[in-house]
Amino acid sequence: MHIRILSGRVFINDVNEFVKRLQEISAKYEISAQAFDAMKIAGRHHLELAVKKALNSVEGGRNISRDPSMEALLYASGRRHISKAIEMGAREGENKLAVMFFGNNVGNLKTAEPEMKQLFDELDESLLELTPDKRSCIMGFYNITDEELKVSGEDKLADLVNERVVLLELSK
């Protein structure tokens, strides 16, 4: 499995049209793709772990969704319910997004990349980094308490998020 991740800023007038365009690109190149609110991403490893867990779940017949990209969203969000997981997706208005696309054919990913880049108004790879301005958003979304972070250590926020990704499998 090969994974590509792009991040940047985009203004979305109609989220359904944005998702439709993402799905069209995915179908054209026979890949899977998902958009994530970059403010809820605890680093590149977070998304890579989510897609690996999602694909293992699909291969093992333990998946919640029939769509691998939606399964990746469920894992990345650490939530079992699609209605809750989509809170981590694109929304109307100004977005800081990460778009992850993946598939078995690296050539298809490379060929799809220029079209994926066109989804953004401005690319910004730094949006994938776990920065202090994301701290409260991530803690709120993943229900990480101050006490939990204090015990684990301030530098372990990404590890706590990744723990939620892994624990989703146990809650099925």
User: N- to C-terminal Cα distance for the chain?
Assistant: 24
Cα–Cα dist 143/115, whole Å: 35
Identify the pLDDT of residue 171. Answer: 65
Task: Work out the pLDDT band at 1, boundaries 50, 70, 90.
Answer: confident
* 97-146 tens-digit pLDDT: 999 999 999 999 999 999 999 999 999 999 999 999 999 999 999 999 99
Question: Is domain 2-170 in CATH 3.30.2380.10, yes or no?
Answer: yes
| CB count in 10 Å sphere of residue 171 | 9
Identify the pLDDT of residue 68. Answer: 92
| CB count in 10 Å sphere of residue 23 | 14
Q: Which structure tokens are listed for 73?
A: 């969203």
Question: In which residue are the tokens 């319910």 written?
Answer: 81
Q: Which amino acid is at 156?
A: K
For residue 127, report the phi and psi dihedrals to the nearest 5 degrees: -65, -15
Report how far apart, in Å, the C-alpha atoms of 57 and of each of 7, 17, 46, 102, 107 are: 26, 29, 16, 15, 25
